[in-house]
Structure formats: C-alpha cells, structure tokens
Amino acid sequence: MDYVAELEKDVRFQEAMHSCLNCGICSAICPAAEFYNYDPRMIVTTVHRRNNDEIEQLLRSNTIWYCGQCMSCKTRCPRGNAAGMVIQALRLLSQKCGFFTESEKGRQQYGLKKTIGESILKYGYCVHPILVKPELHPEQGVIWEWVIQNRDAVYDRLGANLYKEGAGAMRKIHQKNLDELDEIFKVTGGHDFYNVIEEESKKKAQEMNMSTDENNNEYLLHVLTYNSNEHQD
Amino acid sequence: MIDVLIIGGGIAGLETACSLQDLGYETVIVEKEKTIGGHLNDWDTLFPTHRPASEVLEHYTEETRKRALTIYLNTYVISVKKQADGLFEVQTSRDVVFHCKSVVLASGYQLFNAERKEEYGYKIYDNVLTSADLEKRLKNLQGEFTTPTGVSPKRIAFIHCVGSRDEKSGNHYCSKLCCVTAVKQAIHMKQICPQADVFCCYMDLRMYGPGFEEMYREAQEKYHVQFIRGRLSEVAENANGSLQLKVEDTLAARPSRLQVDMLVLMVGMETAKSTELFAQSCGLECASNRFVKTKDHHIGSNQTNVDGIFTAGASIGPLSVFDTVNHAKSAAFAVNDYLKAMK
C-alpha cells in the first residue's frame, strides 16, 4: 500500500504537515515527550521523508499512540505544522490497516472502542458511570468500587438524575436521539470503522490465546490493564 | 531646489548624504529623532571586531560636521507626492514643504517587540532581556555585571530567532544578524563573567559574513560557549527569580529543561512603522516581508518601483552596519545616475 498517498488524502495531514525545520519546539512543549520515550518532531521528520517502509514501521509501533492530543505543538510551531494532527492521520491509517494491534499502546484501541465507543451509542454519553467497570479501571481505586456499589444513592445525593427519564445531569437519553446517533454512524462509516477495530482485535486476541467473550473478555482486560513498562527511558 | 532629500539620519542616510554632497549635489536629511545615528546610539559594541559602536558614530558625526550637512532633527515626513514634472513635494511635521528632484528612503528598521512572544516571558519575568536591552546594560555598565534582579549570573542563555523565521510572529524571513550578535554577546558575557556557563539555543547558525565563522569558532574553543540546537518553547520563573527553559536538544533528540539566571532574547528586525506609512503615502511597493521591494534584487537594489525614490540601508531588509554602509554608497551612485539623466 502507498501509505504516503493515503496520508495525503487526509485533510488533517494536508493542513498540518508543511515543511519541518527540525527546531524541536513541539517536542519541548509536548507533555507526552516529557513522560514517554517519545519525540513528536521525529514523527514529523519521518513522515517528511515520505519513505513508505519507515511510515509502515511507524504505523505498527507504539510511538503514534503516546500523543495525548493536547495540540500544544500546534500553538508553537514556527512553520504552522501540528504534529498532533499528523498523528491523527497516522492513527486512522494504522486502524484501517489493522496495524494498531501490533503494539501494546495500539491494542488499547480495542479498550476505547469497547468503553467510550460503545457507550456513546448505547447511552448517548462517552463516559457513563454504569460502564466504568472497576476491574477495567484499577486506577480509579477502591472508592470507585464503593461508588458503583452504592450508585443510585450517591448520584441522588449529588443531584444527578442517573439513567432516569426527565431532566437533570446524567439523565437517560431519549431513544429517538440514540437512533439519530446510530444513523450518523451508519452514514459516516463509524460502524464500519468500529467493525475493523473489533475484527482486527479479535484476530490478535486469538493469536495471544485470549478470549473475547462478552462474559469473560480476557483480551479487553489485558489491553486496558497491562503495562510492559517499556515506554520510558 | 534641493537635489536629494534623505529620509532618516542613521548611518545609511548619513553615508548617502556625505557621498552625494561630495558628488556636488545639494542634500537635506530629515530625522525624526532628536539626534543622528539611529540604532547605533543604543549599541555597545559591533561584531565581528567587538569595537565600540561609538567609534563608527563618531566617524559619521565628524564627516557630517566637515561637510556642514543640512539636517532637520525632530522632523518626520508626512507625505511625498510626485508631481507631473517628475519633481517631489515632501510635507513634513515642521510646516516646511520641501521640493526636491529625488528622495532616498533611509528609514531603517525597528526591532521585534518581544512581548508578542508571551511564552518567553519578556516584561513578565525580571531576568528576561532582549539583545538590545543587554547592549544598553553593557554600554552603561559600571562595576560588576549583574542580572536585573541583582544576581551575578552563573548561567546565561541566548535564544536565537525571536520574531524571525516564525509564522506565529508573522515574520517568515531570517533577520540574519541575530546569530552573529548572539555569538558576540555570548563572548562578551564570558569575558566579563568568566565563571558563567553560556548557552546559545539556535536553529541554524548563519555565520555569513567575513570574520563571523571565525568568531563562532572562537566562542566555542576559547570561551566554551555551548551551542544547543533547539528552539525554546516556553519559560517559567523559579521562586528565586531564576528561569526554567523548555527546549529540545534536537541533535541528541532529547527534550530538556535548562535552568538559567538570565535569558537574552535575540530579537529580529522588522520594517519600521514609519517606512510602511511612507511607502503607502507614495505608492512604494513592499515585499511580502513588509520591507520595501527593490526594483531588481541583483542589479537594482537601490531603485524602487517609483522613479526618483531610492532606498539606502535596512528599509529593504535586515542589513548589518557593513551591508548598510555599502548599500548607502551604492545609493549615492544610483541617485547620481538618475540626476545626471534628468539634466
């Protein structure tokens, strides 16, 4: 596949990828670069060389998944580039090609699809307390477990109208609106995109000997909680 | 009838005036400030020789005095009109209307206002200076050098390309003199504060002139100035007034934080506001960098799109003293050709 040609079709790539003078201002401001073994400037330079093999390597790597999409790079670049937007284009291509399952950070796309991705269609919220399962989010700690166990009482006390008809925060979203969302996903290719993530991830799960059953999704638990700790210097 | 009216009494205007006077033309200089010499008045020493700027200034003061040049100080030009007969009518702030055969625009440049790069902390943090501030500080130095908060600096950083080569500032061009000025100032700081570590954060070092590369080498070999290839992203102030810089060492591919006691921003050159206004008033074409566009880049750098209006010095773009003096001399010859053809 001609990855360069694919990237050039992406409007974000067209808008955010001019010439790079390699000044490093994007990496200097980048919070992810401070944390991970990561340098957004190097991504831009690699793409700038328009070498198909190098780009494929990027698409299969952890590198493009370190970015937190804060777009600080865009605020600083003296040439009007935005490394964060170039990365968006690379990520989409990696997802389309199924390369995302080849890296630890890329595999987390499955976790995002299963949580935020499905939540928006099912509840009309990207993040909904009912779906933030304690076992998938150990970082939330024991307090979150307690909140979930006492969900109705806690949310009533906070003045929310959790998953009930009528007005108020966290209210149930009307089926008519959910149907509309579903339609948007149909028309824009959102569903197809989800299917690619699902299929590619299932292939990888099989390869890794993990189940993806609804009731015992080992692979989901793995991608969301495993850390090889190989991402920092 | 005046032969040549020269706008600007900096070195470009003075050199052009002296040369034209010697060729036998009647010249008049109008200068908006209360003194001649322009930016040179604010500079301590000149690259690459480190000679005092005052020496060059004294030279021009003396040459001006010898020729008894007519100079109107505290006077700025309001409008220039080219009349049907090809002569110019120049209106000034003095209620004097000049009639002249030709005009030389020697109105120079202005420095980039570093406050526009808010993330660099100029006028926010006390120990952030511009290159021009440092020159003034050095010029007026008595006794030991200290930072604005009174600290004897242990670590000093110079930041290249502030307001140059930067889409965010609206200045795509290279100001070309900041690199060599930074190297000169870095050496100067090492001479007066030998205990200090001095860093230059650069993108590309443009050591284009005679003696520049040699000075850069001297800065590294003799003075141990450290050159870091990377552009500053932002500055924060520590509790004690020292500064924290976020910059990537791009040659090591490593984002890093640099702690310094004083930060010097190498501000670039922009077209002078007065040049822009003047250009508008008489239909002079400007280039995309807002400096005056010359008629021919290679063989007509003193001519403009308006016959009879010439340029001398940095009104056409960033120029050094060396470049300016030469450009001003060639302006005199261009005017001479024009006036001879007029007769």
CB proximity B163 to A under 8 Å? no
A12, containing H or E segment:
helix A11-16
Decide which of A70, A97, A124 is a domain's last residue.
A97
Does residue A42 sit at the B interface (CB-CB below 8 Å)? yes
How far apart CA B209 and CA B232 sit, in angstroms, is 26
d(CA B69, CA A24): 51
What chain B holds in terms of domains, given with CATH numbers, is: 2-108+272-342 (3.50.50.60), 114-269 (3.50.50.60)
Q: What H or E segment, with its residue span, contains residue B81? A: strand B77-82
Do A108 and A61 share a structural domain? no
Nearest to A78 among B166, B250, B253 (CB): B166
Residue B306 DSSP SS3: coil
Q: Which of A28, A30, A77 sits opposite B247 (nearest CB)?
A: A28
Query: Has residue A73 been placed in a domain?
Result: yes
B194, two tokens: 């030998």
Q: Which pTM was predicted?
A: 0.91
Q: Which residues of B touch A26 (CB under 8 A)?
A: 233
- B79/B2 Cα distance (integer angstroms): 17
- pLDDT reported for residue A102: 97
Residues A84 and A135 in one domain: no
Do A31 and A73 lie in one domain? The reply is yes
The span from the CA of B102 to the CA of B97, in Å, is 14
Q: Is residue A232 part of a domain?
A: no
Report the pLDDT value the prediction gives residue B276, as an integer from 0 to 100: 85
Higher pLDDT: A102 or B96? It is A102
Among the candidates A97, A114, A140, a domain finishes at: A97
343 residues of chain B, pLDDT tens digit each: 899 999 999 999 999 999 999 999 999 999 999 999 999 999 999 999 999 999 999 999 999 999 999 999 999 898 899 999 999 999 999 888 999 999 999 999 999 999 999 999 999 999 999 999 999 999 999 999 999 999 999 999 999 999 999 999 999 999 999 999 999 999 999 999 999 999 999 999 999 999 999 999 999 999 999 999 999 999 999 999 999 999 999 999 888 899 999 999 999 999 998 888 888 888 999 999 999 999 999 999 999 999 999 999 999 999 999 999 999 999 999 999 999 998 7
Contact B326, B314 (CB under 8 A): no
Q: In this structure, how many other beta carbons lie within 10 angstroms of the beta carbon of residue A61?
A: 18
Q: A117 in a domain, yes or no?
A: yes
- Does A179 lie in the same domain as A123? yes
Nearest to B267 by CA among B114, B116, B148, B121: B114
User: Which pLDDT value is given to residue B74?
Assistant: 96
Domain carrying residue A51: 3-97
**AA letter at B194:** P
Q: Shortest CB distance from A28 goes to which of B161, B204, B255?
A: B255
| Phi, psi of B105, deg, nearest 5 | -90, 110
Structural domain contains residue A233: no
Residue A127 lies in a domain: yes
Q: Are B194 and B298 in contact (CB under 8 A)?
A: no
Decide if B119 touches A, using CB distance below 8 A: yes
Give the C-alpha separation, A168 to A164, whole Å: 9
Q: Does A80 touch chain B (CB under 8 A)?
A: yes
Q: What is the DSSP letter of A117?
A: I
Chain B CB contacts of A74 below 8 Å: none
* Burial of residue B147, with CB atoms counted within 10 A of its CB: 0-12 exposed, 13-18 middle, 19 or more buried: buried
For B247, nearest residue in chain A (alpha carbons): A28
Inter-chain CB proximity B255 and A34 less than 8 Å: yes
Q: Which of B192, B103, B104, B208 is nearest to B153 (CA)?
A: B192
Residues A110 and A58 in one domain: no
DSSP-based three-state secondary structure for B26: coil
Do residue A167 and residue A123 come from a single domain? Answer: yes
Q: Pick the residue of B231, B244, B254, B256 with the most A CBs within 10 A to test the interface with A by mutation.
A: B231
Residue of B nearest to A80 (CA): B167
- Do A221 and A108 belong to one domain? yes
- What CA–CA distance (Å, rounded) separates B186 from B264? 10
Residue A148 inside a domain? The answer is yes
Q: Give exposure, A99-122, as e/b (b: 16+ Cβ within 10 Å).
A: bbbbbebbbebbbebbbebebbee
What is the domain count for chain A?
2
Cβ proximity of A21 and B165 under 8 Å: yes
> Above 80 in pLDDT, residue A233?
no
For residue B166, which residues of chain A lie inside 8 Å, CB to CB?
78
| Contact (CB<8Å) A28/B231 | yes
Domain end position, chosen among A97, A117, A137 = A97
C-alpha closest to that of B29 among B105, B126, B85: B105
CA distance B6 to B14: 9
CATH of the domain at A29: 1.10.1060.10
d(CA B101, CA B342): 9
Q: What is the ipTM of this complex?
A: 0.87
What does the pLDDT read at residue A133? 87
- To the nearest 10 degrees (0 to 180), the angle between helices B321-342 and B11-22 is 40
Return all residues near B80 (Cβ < 8 A) that are at least 6 apart.
B88, B89, B90, B91, B103, B278, B281, B282, B309
CA distance B177 to A46: 31
Pair (A63, A109) in one structural domain: no
User: What CA dihedral angle connects B146, B148, B149 and B150, to 10 degrees?
Assistant: 20
C-alpha dist (Å) from residue B292 to B87, B172, B272, B310: 21, 16, 10, 10
Which residue among A22, A76, A79 sits closest to B233, beta carbon to beta carbon?
A76
